[in-house]
């Protein structure tokens, strides 16, 4: 079974600085999706960024970018120019990509990010 590990339960960063959240996963599949979701205090989880394993180029969405290391099974999220609104729980998630159409989304335990004004 696939597992997703987020080894940093909590992180903090000074406003306007850069922070990197780590995520590793375990899989025997060669093709899959990886996601970062954000859950602010409002509790509504929002997709931040996604990466398809067959694409070598790292995904980027404005201030959010990933460092996808397929061989190392690592998928870290970098937040540049941190803003107060970035304070949230961040969840890394994995989903296999097969022909069977029943792949589940597996989440990590999350990293709580605090932004220091």
Partner 1 sequence: ETGVTQTPRHLVMGMTNKKSLKCEQHLGHNAMYWYKQSAKKPLELMFVYNFKEQTENNSVPSRFSPECPNSSHLFLHLHTLQPEDSALYLCASSQDPQGVGANVLTFGAGSRLTVL
Query: For partner 1, which stretch binds (CB under 8 A), given 22-30, 56-64, 68-76, 106-114?
Result: 106-114
Q: Which tokens hold the place of 38?
A: 């954000």
70, 73, 78, 95: which one contacts partner 1 (CB under 8 A)? Answer: 95
Query: Binding string to partner 1 for residues 9 to 28, with x set by CB under 8 A, is what?
Result: x-------------------
C-alpha distance across the termini of the chain, in Å:
41
Q: Which two tokens stand for residue 116?
A: 């220091």
Q: Does 74 contact partner 1 by CB under 8 A?
A: no
Q: Does 102 bind partner 1 (CB under 8 A)?
A: yes
| Eight-class DSSP state of 105 | E
d(C-alpha 68, C-alpha 82), whole Å: 21
User: Does residue 35 belong to the site contacting partner 1 (CB under 8 A)?
Assistant: yes
Question: Cβ closer to partner 1: 70 or 95?
Answer: 95
Residue 98 vs residues 9, 45, 78, 103: alpha-carbon distances, Å = 31, 25, 28, 7
The C-alpha atoms of residue 51 and residue 1 are separated, in whole angstroms, by 20
Binding residues vs partner 1 (CB under 8 A): 4, 9, 33, 35, 37, 42-47, 50, 52, 91, 95, 98, 100-109
């Amino acid at each position: 079974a696939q597992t997703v590990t987020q080894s940093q339960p909590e992180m903090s960063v000074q406003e306007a600085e850069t922070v990197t959240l780590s995520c590793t996963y375990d899989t025997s599949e060669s093709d899959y999706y990886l996601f970062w979701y954000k859950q602010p205090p409002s509790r509504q989880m929002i997709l931040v960024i996604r990466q398809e394993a067959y694409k070598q180029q790292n995904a980027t969405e404005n201030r959010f970018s990933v460092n996808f290391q397929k061989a190392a099974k690592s998928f870290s999220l970098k937040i540049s120019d941190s803003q107060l609104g970035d304070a949230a729980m961040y969840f890394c998630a994995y989903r296999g990509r097969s022909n069977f159409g029943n792949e589940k989304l597996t989440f990590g335990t999350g990293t709580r990010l605090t932004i220091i004004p």
